[in-house]
Structure 1
């Protein structure tokens, strides 16, 4: 329950667009696997609720970075992009992106869990995580241009397609990139 309290504390920081955000999060929490999905199929936080844990870690880290590096950016924007940057990993309503694997007969015989624990759902139309995130968010919630850029390019230069934004990142995008990397490689190691 500690994770849910951390999550609620972050959601409570969204005040200017509170009503729209509450509606979006109700959709996200009740229609997708956002609250239960893993953060990956085999790497960081590859367990139930891993996506939520990662999103909360990124939001908390981003707020810390923002307070020192860019205090002029609103907490609200930081929370929104951090909590929703990987929403695409939840998949679509009724069609999760990650499916739990069953152990092989050999794994069962030796008492091991399935390895890898999850697999990608090939029944989904392929969209990158940021694109699916934006696909789920934008019809339901008004994002600023800076928030769209942050979500779209949050993987920074780890992703070849992101080269076009190099040296054109807004501060919010850079903060999300740093917070995401710090969370993955330090907080969640």
Structure 2
């Protein structure tokens, strides 16, 4: 199945908050670089549409893991947190977080194909994502925790939640790690 088709199938799983989610995703898709941004500057899926592919991979893996370990968690919450967990990497409307690295000759750099946009105010990826979502869509407390702490103990600031993670947070961490470290490859 093609990436956009997989993405649409996932979005259709949001039923209870369908209209609000559709409006949020239309805003994100039209006003940010969400559909075109890379997932990283030089590691997993550092290519155009890498962020979208990573988000879809995480959502699909999260649904698989959840079905076995915590079937009581809604598919809707899983899809929402997976699709939005790295939203901050899209940057802000009109200001993508990642820009193509180009050599002085105008050719694209191969070692680090993308660089950070220094004209973008620094916010962590989860905080920027929540900023983009907050005025347009209501997340549950569990969804907020999952998005903010999805990098688990890889981020020093996340130690404050250690041993207090909700199930959704842990499942998102597992799905994100599985996608980024096992399924997705570094740029060649």
TM-score between both structures, scaled by the size of structure 2: 0.95
The answer as to 2:81 corresponding to 1:81 is yes
Output the CA distance in 2 between the equivalents of 1:63 and 1:114.
Answer: 34
- CA shift digits 1:98-143 (9 cap, x unpaired): 00111344x95xxx74431000001111000000010001110010
1:4 and 2:11 aligned = no
Q: Tell me, what secondary structure is at the counterpart of 1:119?
A: strand
Equivalent-residue separation in structure 2 for 1:62 and 1:88 (angstroms): 19
Extract unaligned runs of 5+ from structure 2: none
Is this contact kept in 2: 1:99–1:120, CA < 8 A? Answer: yes
User: Across the two proteins, how many residue pairs are aligned to each other?
Assistant: 185
Match of 2:141 among 141, 145, 149: 145
Normalising by structure 1, what TM-score? 0.95
Distance of 1:164 and 1:63 partners within structure 2 = 27
Distance in 2 (alpha carbons) for counterparts of 1:104 and 1:72? 54
2:97: which partner in 1? 97
Q: CA deviation at 1:175?
A: 0.4
Q: For residues 162-177 of structure 1, what are the structure 2 equivalents within 5 Å? A: 162-177=158-173
Residues 114-123 or 146-155, more deviating: 114-123
Q: Is the 8 A contact 1:57 1:183 kept in 2?
A: yes
Task: Specify the SS of the correspondent of 2:99.
Answer: strand
Would the alpha carbon gap of residues 113 and 123 (structure 1) be closer, same or farther in structure 2, given more than 3 Å must change?
Answer: closer
Question: How far off its partner does 1:19 sit?
Answer: 0.3
Query: Do 1:37 and 1:48's aligned partners in 2 also have CA atoms closer than 8 Å?
Result: yes
Per-residue CA deviation, residues 124-181 of structure 1 (Å, 9 max, x unaligned), is 1100000001000111001000000000000000000000000000000000000000
- Match of residue 64 from structure 1: 64
Q: In the aligned structure 1, how far is the partner of 2:88 from the partner of 2:94?
A: 13
For the residues of structure 1 that align with 2:7 and 2:104, how far apart are their CA atoms?
Answer: 35
Name stretches of at least 5 consecutive residues in structure 1 with no aligned partner. Answer: none
